[in-house]
Amino acid sequence: MPSKVHKIIILGADGTGKTSIIEQAIYGNHVAGTKMVPTVEDTYTANIFTERNCLEQLRLFDTAGLDCQTPVVPKHYYSFADAYILVFDITRNKSDLEHSSRQIEFDTVKNWAAREKVHFREVSVTNKKSLMDAFSFLVSKLLPQRSIKSRFKKDSAQATFSVSGLATDV
């Protein structure tokens, strides 16, 4: 049973594939090259297994494309989001194309992400596993780290320690 609903806002410019990514991750039925209708705003609910093998519920908010000239995030998103995903198109095509056709180099984006202290993950709508791995990673980071109590007594006191990753009783 999911512990809470994690609210994630999907942001990006017009035509970057926000809806395609969400629909492929949830339904697995997106066909690359399919003509998409521009999104005004939509909400999806999905259950996903985290890296710790916990089932968590997501509410994904698919936003209208941001204007590239003045990319302003609507203020009502600030108050309730647990996380944001910024979707952008590296070539005005998709990441599964040949590296030679890219207009933005992988290292440029990687360096930008490091400078801004955000996690960067390149995904493709044609590779559902890359999408699911990205969502699983994100939700795992939203969950609190769990403490584990040892069953071994040391001087009649319980030892407590934390681990990252899968939490189990020892």
Q: CA-to-CA distance for 113 and 134, rounded, in angstroms?
A: 15
Single out the residue of 89, 86, 136 nearest to residue 113, CA to CA.
86
Number of domains in the chain: 1
- Report yes or no on 169 lying in a domain: no
Q: What is the pTM of this model?
A: 0.72
Single out the residue of 76, 80, 78 nearest to residue 6, CA to CA.
80
Q: What are 13-16's contacts with CB under 8 Å, separation 24+?
A: 13/65, 13/66, 13/67, 13/68, 13/71, 13/88, 13/89, 14/38, 14/64, 14/65, 14/66, 14/67, 14/68, 15/65, 15/89, 15/92, 16/65, 16/87, 16/88, 16/89
Contact 131, 125 (CB under 8 A): yes
Domain that holds residue 96: 5-162
**Residue-level pLDDT at 60:** 93
- Report yes or no on 170 lying in a domain: no
- Report yes or no on 91 lying in a domain: yes
Contact 87, 16 (CB under 8 A): yes
Q: Is 124 exposed, middle or buried (0-12, 13-18, 19+ CB in 10 A)?
A: middle
**Residue-level pLDDT at 169:** 31
Q: What is the DSSP letter of 78?
A: T
- Report yes or no on 168 lying in a domain: no
- Report yes or no on 53 lying in a domain: yes
Residue of higher predicted confidence among 15 and 151:
15
Report CA-CA distances (Å) from 89 to 5, 13, 63, 100.
Answer: 28, 9, 16, 15
- Report yes or no on 105 lying in a domain: yes
**Residue-level pLDDT at 166:** 33
- Report yes or no on 106 lying in a domain: yes
32: CATH = 3.40.50.300
Contact 41, 59 (CB under 8 A): no
- The tens digit of pLDDT for each residue in 16-35 reads 888 888 989 888 888 877 78
- The tens digit of pLDDT for each residue in 99-151 reads 566 777 888 889 999 999 999 998 888 888 988 999 999 998 888 766 555 45
